Structure 1
Protein backbone atom coordinates (compact mmCIF):
# COMPACT_ATOMS: atom_id res chain seq x y z
CA UNK A 1 0.00 0.00 0.00
CA UNK A 2 1.24 3.45 -0.90
CA UNK A 3 1.82 5.72 2.12
CA UNK A 4 0.68 9.35 2.02
CA UNK A 5 2.62 12.18 3.68
CA UNK A 6 1.38 15.73 4.24
CA UNK A 7 4.15 18.33 3.75
CA UNK A 8 3.42 21.68 5.43
CA UNK A 9 5.71 24.67 4.79
CA UNK A 10 5.13 28.28 3.76
CA UNK A 11 8.05 28.03 1.33
CA UNK A 12 6.98 26.53 -2.01
CA UNK A 13 10.59 25.57 -2.81
CA UNK A 14 10.97 23.64 0.48
CA UNK A 15 7.64 21.84 -0.12
CA UNK A 16 8.84 20.96 -3.61
CA UNK A 17 12.21 19.59 -2.44
CA UNK A 18 10.65 17.57 0.39
CA UNK A 19 7.92 16.22 -1.91
CA UNK A 20 10.44 15.25 -4.61
CA UNK A 21 12.57 13.47 -1.99
CA UNK A 22 9.54 11.55 -0.68
CA UNK A 23 8.14 10.74 -4.14
CA UNK A 24 11.53 9.37 -5.23
CA UNK A 25 11.23 6.92 -2.32
CA UNK A 26 7.73 5.86 -3.40
CA UNK A 27 5.54 7.99 -1.13
CA UNK A 28 2.50 10.03 -2.17
CA UNK A 29 2.49 13.63 -0.95
CA UNK A 30 -0.06 16.33 -0.24
CA UNK A 31 1.24 19.89 0.16
CA UNK A 32 -0.08 22.67 2.41
CA UNK A 33 1.30 26.20 2.84
CA UNK A 34 0.49 26.67 6.56
CA UNK A 35 -1.27 25.02 9.49
CA UNK A 36 -4.78 26.17 8.52
CA UNK A 37 -4.29 24.93 4.95
CA UNK A 38 -3.02 21.62 6.35
CA UNK A 39 -6.10 21.11 8.52
CA UNK A 40 -8.35 21.84 5.52
CA UNK A 41 -6.46 19.40 3.31
CA UNK A 42 -6.77 16.66 5.95
CA UNK A 43 -10.58 16.70 5.81
CA UNK A 44 -11.70 13.32 4.54
CA UNK A 45 -8.12 12.12 3.92
CA UNK A 46 -5.94 9.57 5.69
CA UNK A 47 -2.27 10.47 5.92
CA UNK A 48 0.40 8.27 7.45
CA UNK A 49 2.82 11.04 8.44
CA UNK A 50 2.98 14.85 8.58
CA UNK A 51 6.16 16.87 8.00
CA UNK A 52 5.72 20.47 9.15
CA UNK A 53 7.71 23.68 9.36
CA UNK A 54 7.53 25.57 12.68
CA UNK A 55 7.50 29.23 11.57
CA UNK A 56 4.55 29.88 9.23
CA UNK A 57 1.87 32.57 8.86
CA UNK A 58 -1.81 31.99 9.82
CA UNK A 59 -1.05 28.92 11.97
CA UNK A 60 2.47 27.91 12.98
CA UNK A 61 3.72 24.34 13.18
CA UNK A 62 3.53 23.98 16.97
CA UNK A 63 -0.08 25.20 17.00
CA UNK A 64 -0.85 22.78 14.14
CA UNK A 65 0.79 19.95 16.08
CA UNK A 66 -1.30 20.67 19.20
CA UNK A 67 -4.45 20.82 17.05
CA UNK A 68 -3.63 17.48 15.38
CA UNK A 69 -3.13 15.77 18.74
CA UNK A 70 -6.64 16.65 19.99
CA UNK A 71 -8.41 15.41 16.85
CA UNK A 72 -9.48 11.74 16.91
CA UNK A 73 -8.55 11.17 13.24
CA UNK A 74 -5.00 12.57 13.54
CA UNK A 75 -4.19 12.01 17.22
CA UNK A 76 -1.86 9.09 16.44
CA UNK A 77 -0.41 10.40 13.16
CA UNK A 78 3.35 10.90 13.61
CA UNK A 79 4.69 14.40 12.97
CA UNK A 80 8.23 15.43 11.97
CA UNK A 81 9.09 19.10 12.49
CA UNK A 82 11.29 20.40 9.64
CA UNK A 83 12.60 23.81 10.59
CA UNK A 84 15.47 26.28 10.78
CA UNK A 85 14.88 26.32 14.57
CA UNK A 86 17.65 24.46 16.38
CA UNK A 87 17.15 26.04 19.80
CA UNK A 88 16.70 23.46 22.59
CA UNK A 89 13.67 25.28 24.01
CA UNK A 90 11.80 25.08 20.70
CA UNK A 91 12.69 21.40 20.33
CA UNK A 92 11.36 20.75 23.83
CA UNK A 93 8.11 22.56 22.97
CA UNK A 94 7.81 20.35 19.90
CA UNK A 95 8.49 17.19 21.85
CA UNK A 96 5.99 18.20 24.55
CA UNK A 97 3.36 18.87 21.87
CA UNK A 98 3.92 15.42 20.36
CA UNK A 99 6.53 15.77 17.60
CA UNK A 100 8.27 12.45 16.88
CA UNK A 101 11.35 13.97 15.22
CA UNK A 102 13.02 17.36 14.71
CA UNK A 103 14.93 17.88 11.46
CA UNK A 104 16.87 21.13 10.96
CA UNK A 105 16.98 22.83 7.54
CA UNK A 106 18.84 22.56 5.33
CA UNK A 107 18.19 18.85 5.55
CA UNK A 108 20.02 15.89 4.06
CA UNK A 109 17.49 13.90 1.97
CA UNK A 110 18.79 10.54 3.26
CA UNK A 111 18.40 11.71 6.87
CA UNK A 112 14.83 12.80 6.16
CA UNK A 113 13.99 9.48 4.52
CA UNK A 114 15.55 7.56 7.43
CA UNK A 115 13.35 9.47 9.90
CA UNK A 116 10.27 8.87 7.70
CA UNK A 117 11.00 5.15 7.39
CA UNK A 118 11.34 4.80 11.18
CA UNK A 119 7.94 6.41 11.71
CA UNK A 120 6.02 4.71 8.90
CA UNK A 121 6.08 0.98 9.20
CA UNK A 122 5.96 -0.78 5.82
Structure 2
Protein backbone atom coordinates (compact mmCIF):
# COMPACT_ATOMS: atom_id res chain seq x y z
CA UNK A 1 0.00 0.00 0.00
CA UNK A 2 1.23 3.49 -0.86
CA UNK A 3 2.23 5.36 2.29
CA UNK A 4 1.98 9.14 2.69
CA UNK A 5 3.32 11.28 5.53
CA UNK A 6 1.36 14.48 6.21
CA UNK A 7 3.37 17.12 8.10
CA UNK A 8 1.11 19.99 9.21
CA UNK A 9 0.48 21.65 12.57
CA UNK A 10 -3.26 22.14 11.91
CA UNK A 11 -5.35 19.21 13.14
CA UNK A 12 -8.21 20.00 10.76
CA UNK A 13 -5.87 20.03 7.75
CA UNK A 14 -4.31 16.70 8.74
CA UNK A 15 -7.78 15.18 9.21
CA UNK A 16 -8.93 16.49 5.81
CA UNK A 17 -5.87 15.08 4.01
CA UNK A 18 -6.24 11.77 5.89
CA UNK A 19 -9.94 11.43 5.01
CA UNK A 20 -9.43 12.25 1.33
CA UNK A 21 -6.30 10.13 0.87
CA UNK A 22 -7.49 7.09 2.83
CA UNK A 23 -10.72 7.10 0.86
CA UNK A 24 -8.55 6.95 -2.28
CA UNK A 25 -6.70 3.92 -0.91
CA UNK A 26 -3.55 5.47 0.56
CA UNK A 27 -2.15 4.74 4.02
CA UNK A 28 -1.60 8.02 5.90
CA UNK A 29 0.62 8.91 8.86
CA UNK A 30 0.75 12.34 10.47
CA UNK A 31 3.30 14.63 12.09
CA UNK A 32 2.56 17.98 13.78
CA UNK A 33 5.82 19.76 12.93
CA UNK A 34 9.06 19.37 11.00
CA UNK A 35 10.97 17.70 13.84
CA UNK A 36 8.35 15.02 14.31
CA UNK A 37 8.08 14.68 10.53
CA UNK A 38 11.81 14.04 10.14
CA UNK A 39 11.77 11.47 12.94
CA UNK A 40 8.89 9.56 11.33
CA UNK A 41 10.22 9.93 7.78
CA UNK A 42 13.60 8.46 8.74
CA UNK A 43 12.21 5.72 11.00
CA UNK A 44 9.60 4.51 8.51
CA UNK A 45 9.34 4.27 4.75
CA UNK A 46 7.04 6.64 2.84
CA UNK A 47 6.21 6.98 -0.85
CA UNK A 48 5.28 10.68 -0.57
CA UNK A 49 5.49 13.52 1.93
CA UNK A 50 2.99 16.40 2.07
CA UNK A 51 4.37 19.29 4.10
CA UNK A 52 3.05 22.67 5.25
CA UNK A 53 5.22 25.81 5.30
CA UNK A 54 4.29 27.55 8.56
CA UNK A 55 4.72 25.27 11.58
CA UNK A 56 6.18 25.71 15.06
CA UNK A 57 9.59 24.26 16.02
CA UNK A 58 10.63 23.55 12.42
CA UNK A 59 8.92 24.99 9.36
CA UNK A 60 8.42 23.20 6.06
CA UNK A 61 11.41 24.83 4.37
CA UNK A 62 13.78 23.66 7.13
CA UNK A 63 12.15 20.22 7.07
CA UNK A 64 12.82 19.86 3.34
CA UNK A 65 16.34 21.31 3.47
CA UNK A 66 17.35 18.96 6.28
CA UNK A 67 15.47 15.99 4.81
CA UNK A 68 17.18 16.34 1.44
CA UNK A 69 20.58 15.92 3.15
CA UNK A 70 19.50 12.52 4.54
CA UNK A 71 20.08 9.52 2.24
CA UNK A 72 16.77 7.95 3.38
CA UNK A 73 14.76 10.97 2.19
CA UNK A 74 16.62 12.23 -0.86
CA UNK A 75 14.48 10.28 -3.34
CA UNK A 76 11.11 10.57 -1.57
CA UNK A 77 8.83 13.00 -3.45
CA UNK A 78 7.71 15.98 -1.38
CA UNK A 79 4.79 18.30 -2.05
CA UNK A 80 4.66 21.56 -0.14
CA UNK A 81 1.12 22.79 0.44
CA UNK A 82 0.67 26.28 1.88
CA UNK A 83 -1.61 29.28 2.08
CA UNK A 84 1.36 31.34 0.85
CA UNK A 85 0.78 32.00 -2.84
CA UNK A 86 3.52 34.42 -3.92
CA UNK A 87 6.09 33.34 -6.52
CA UNK A 88 8.85 33.81 -3.95
CA UNK A 89 7.18 31.24 -1.66
CA UNK A 90 7.05 28.72 -4.50
CA UNK A 91 10.69 29.46 -5.38
CA UNK A 92 11.76 28.96 -1.75
CA UNK A 93 9.92 25.64 -1.65
CA UNK A 94 11.67 24.35 -4.77
CA UNK A 95 15.03 25.62 -3.52
CA UNK A 96 14.47 23.74 -0.24
CA UNK A 97 13.75 20.49 -2.09
CA UNK A 98 10.04 20.36 -2.89
CA UNK A 99 9.03 18.48 -6.03
CA UNK A 100 5.73 20.37 -6.29
CA UNK A 101 4.09 23.39 -4.63
CA UNK A 102 0.33 23.69 -4.13
CA UNK A 103 -1.70 26.53 -2.60
CA UNK A 104 -4.38 25.75 0.01
CA UNK A 105 -7.17 24.91 -0.15
CA UNK A 106 -6.54 21.87 -2.34
CA UNK A 107 -9.65 20.21 -3.79
CA UNK A 108 -10.00 16.48 -3.00
CA UNK A 109 -9.68 15.38 -6.63
CA UNK A 110 -6.50 17.44 -7.05
CA UNK A 111 -5.03 16.06 -3.84
CA UNK A 112 -5.65 12.44 -4.83
CA UNK A 113 -4.40 12.93 -8.39
CA UNK A 114 -1.22 14.69 -7.24
CA UNK A 115 -0.63 12.02 -4.59
CA UNK A 116 -1.03 9.22 -7.14
CA UNK A 117 1.25 10.84 -9.72
CA UNK A 118 3.94 11.89 -7.24
CA UNK A 119 3.94 8.50 -5.49
CA UNK A 120 4.14 6.72 -8.85
CA UNK A 121 0.82 4.87 -8.71
CA UNK A 122 -1.93 5.00 -11.31
CA UNK A 123 -4.57 7.63 -10.45
| TM interval, short-chain normalised | over 0.9
Does the alignment pair 1:102 with 2:101? yes
Unaligned runs of 5+ in 1: none
- Equivalent runs, 1:1-122 vs 2, <5 Å: 2-122=1-121
Q: Distance in 2 between matches of 1:53 and 1:25?
A: 21
Helix, strand or coil at the partner of 1:70: coil
Q: Distance in 2 between matches of 1:102 and 1:121?
A: 17
Is the CA contact (8 Å cut-off) linking 2:54 and 2:60 kept in structure 1? yes
Is the CA contact (8 Å cut-off) linking 1:51 and 1:79 kept in structure 2? yes
Is the CA contact (8 Å cut-off) linking 2:42 and 2:72 kept in structure 1? no
| Alignment length (residue pairs) | 121
Is the CA contact (8 Å cut-off) linking 1:5 and 1:30 kept in structure 2? yes
**TM-score, length basis structure 2:** 0.94
Task: Give, in angstroms, the shift of residue 44 of structure 1.
Answer: 2.4
**TM-score, length basis structure 1:** 0.95
Unaligned runs of 5+ in 2: none
Q: Distance in 1 between matches of 2:21 and 2:117?
A: 14
Is the CA contact (8 Å cut-off) linking 1:103 and 1:112 kept in structure 2? no
